[in-house]
A and B are shown apart, each in its own frame.
Chain A
Amino acid sequence: MKPESSAFTVGQNEQELRQLHLNTEVISVINDAGISLRDVTKRYGNKAVVDAINLVIKPGEFMTFLGPSGSGKTTTLNMIAGFVSATEGLLHIYGKPVAKLPAHKRDIGMVFQNYALFPHKTVAENIAYPLDRRKISKAEQKTMIAGALEMVRMGEFGDRFPTELSGGQQQRVALARALVYKPRVLLMDEPLGALDKKLREWLQKEIKRIHREVGSTFVYVTHDQEEALSLSDRIAVFNNGRIEQVGSPADLYQKPQTLFVGRFLGESTVLSGSMVSSGAGETTLDISGHAIRVPGQLSSESLAILIRPENIILCDEGSAPSAAGINTLPVTVLDANYLGSSWRCEVELPDGSTGTVRAAQAAGVREPGSRALMRWDVDCGVLLEDTGDEGVSLT
């Protein structure tokens, strides 16, 4: 079920792009991309809900748009789908300029949060709908519908009406309908948002498997960071109409480039302070009177260090002499929760803010109210500009 390669002739397209004074390198990037957005902006009145976004999605890639509501991720998806027209910018799908193409001519598939199955048509009729539009013979349709239903493991449900199916089944039918005509791009707008946790996790695996099978470019919108981390090849983190960072899940988690990304993905402890010294690829910050070291250098007034909870160890006050390559900070334990596979402690930092520590063993946990020492490898800290973003949690 591999999508057919681009039949689009790029000759005329290249001419158009040259007229925009883009250099050949940029043109070849646009032509080689599955989806390319260049300075794409959407303004409502004076407000830019999507602000000059640049993004290249590779053919066959699983790209997730992650961000809080109102961050512009859904508007961007709707621009790719053709429901919303961009105010400015270039939008290409497999090298073809689509900014002026209506949605029904873009040859994309789309899956919606509320399934959007046609209630007056059976499952098979729903899946036949895009095939009818493409004037595919009834005989051929039959095998294609059977194949699509087989792919989503809904083989016996062709004669049912959507209302006779559960939410998870409806979404699988919606997937079959969106993929039966082998579009090169599949857009998904929070497709699992209306389902319960168990079903969501199972469907995530199904979506991953289907992505491997069909090899189309998938663009997935979600505000659920766990979903984004487990599904995606790459994630684009949206905030305030801009993309904060694009990278693999591991990249974003381990090497966030902004405080917003660090805080939005996973749990973290953030220490804000002022610079004491900087040099030789290392910076020392003053965190409430404690000298804390962190790799990297940044030229900014206000700085912060982000540490992941699994990299922090709690130990008794005064027990651990400060060794080279180790940071320590006195904290007060606020709360300790047992999560089954680990413990999670909330601690109060010297400046009064809250940090998170994860311990694999009970020995790593302290009683609430007790004083303790937080320690971590210098190399585990990430130096970031302190943009003052409040912690966001939208899971």
Chain B
Amino acid sequence: MTFKRALGALAVLIVLWLLLPTLVIIPMSFNSAASFNFPPQGFSLQWYENFFTDPSWLRSLGSSLQVALITMVVATALGIMAAIGLSKVKFRGKALLESYFLTPLIVPGIVIAIGLYSLFLRFNLLGTLPGFVLAHTVVALPLVIINVTASLQGVDPKLEQASATLGAGRLRTFFSITLPLIMPGVTAGALFAFVTSFDEIILSLFVQSPQLQTLPVKIYNSVTQTSDPTVAAVAVIAMFTSVLVMLTAQFATRKRKRVSV
């Protein structure tokens, strides 16, 4: 019994350890003093007000949303195609190609960042919207492929054959049969791609320019260069955006499952 209790206590400790750093930021964002103090002194909404009145913060929020949305669309479209290609076609070295697609998850971000930096420098993509989207797609794509591949495995290939005998060509079959059936995976993959881009910092630090900064970059610059507590408010906003998107993903997946099972 004591062992069970000790195990329970350990679990609680681990949960706290995982959550506390994230949660500490919430009281800090309501601090009335102009410093990163914990525990905070007094309650105020001034940092939130700061964020919503400062055009440079709003601009970076706008850039982040823009980059994340475009990245989501690009990564999802490419990811679906790659996943279908990998699941349908049999060829030598397929396993190799599969792991190749997943390398951005394994290779350290800084390595990709340096590589991209030198490439983007050459093609004048630094500090541009396409630059951000290309960079973020590299790391978002594997997440789409993983999710779509998983849901494709649940689709009976006979359904596509049946669709063909009933008179539907490949495209029609994809849009009428395959896509609706893999929609949970596609939704999850798309939202993962959005969040990945929205939170991405390493690649963004290399791609950024003073004119184009995503929110994490702006937070980072702000923390390192000034000690403006507005960052805490921004962090809370960014955090809740991500959490909201992930909850949506969870909900969408579960709802879809109920319909199809």
Contact = CB atoms under 8 A, between A and B. Distances in A.
Contact of A112 (B162, B167, B173, B176): B162
Nearest to A113: B158
A80 to B, nearest CB: 11
Nearest to B165: A110
Interface in A128-148: 129-130, 133-134
A104 B161 contact: no
Interface of B is mostly: helix
Contacts of B166: 104, 109, 129-130, 133, 177-178, 181
Interface in A166-194: 177-178, 181, 187
Nearest to A107: B167
A119 B260 contact: yes
A103 B162 CA distance: 10
B159 A104 contact: no
Interface string B149-184: 000000010110111111111001100110011000
A388 interface: no
A340 to B, nearest CB: 38
A104 B164 contact: yes
B261 interface: yes
Interface in A22-63: none
Interface string A78-98: 000111000000000000000
Contacts of B162: 110, 112, 116-118
Contacts of B177: 118
A337 interface: no
Interface of B: 156, 158-159, 161-169, 172-173, 176-177, 180-181, 259-261
B161 A83 contact: yes
A120 interface: yes
Q: Which of B163, B180, B181 has the most CB of A within 10 A?
A: B163
A106 B168 CA distance: 11
Contact of A103 (B156, B165, B260): B165
A108 interface: yes
A81 B159 contact: no
Interface string A181-213: 100000100000000000000000000000000
Interface of A: 81-83, 102-110, 112, 114, 116-120, 129-130, 133-134, 163, 177-178, 181, 187
B162 to A, nearest CB: 4
A120 B164 contact: no
B168 A104 contact: yes
Nearest to A109: B165
A102 B176 contact: no
Given A119-B260, A129-B176, A178 B181 contact: no
Contacts of B168: 104, 129, 133
Most buried by A among B162, B172, B177, B181: B162
B259 A120 contact: yes
A134 B167 contact: yes
A181 B158 CA distance: 20
Nearest to B160: A116
A134 B158 CA distance: 21
B167 A102 contact: no
Contact of B165 (A108, A118, A119): A108
Contacts of A112: 158, 161-162
Contacts of B181: 119-120
Contact of A102 (B156, B163, B169, B172): B169
21 contacts: A102-B164, A104-B165, A104-B167, A105-B167, A107-B167, A108-B165, A110-B162, A112-B158, A114-B156, A118-B162, A118-B163, A120-B180, A129-B163, A129-B166, A129-B168, A129-B176, A133-B168, A134-B167, A178-B165, A181-B166, A181-B167
Contacts of A104: 163-169, 173
Q: Which 3 A-B pairs have the closest CB atoms?
A: A133-B167, A130-B166, A103-B164
Given A107-B167, A181-B167, A133 B159 contact: no
B129 to A, nearest CB: 37
Nearest to B183: A120
Nearest to B169: A104
B158 A81 contact: no
A108 B167 CA distance: 8
Contacts of B163: 104, 118, 129
B161 A116 contact: yes
Nearest to B177: A118
Contacts of B158: 112, 114, 116
A110 B161 CA distance: 9
A82 B167 CA distance: 12
A212 B261 CA distance: 36
B76 to A, nearest CB: 20
B167 A116 contact: no
A104 B162 CA distance: 9
B161 A81 contact: yes
A187 B158 CA distance: 14
Among A102, A103, A133: residue with most chain B CB under 10 A: A103
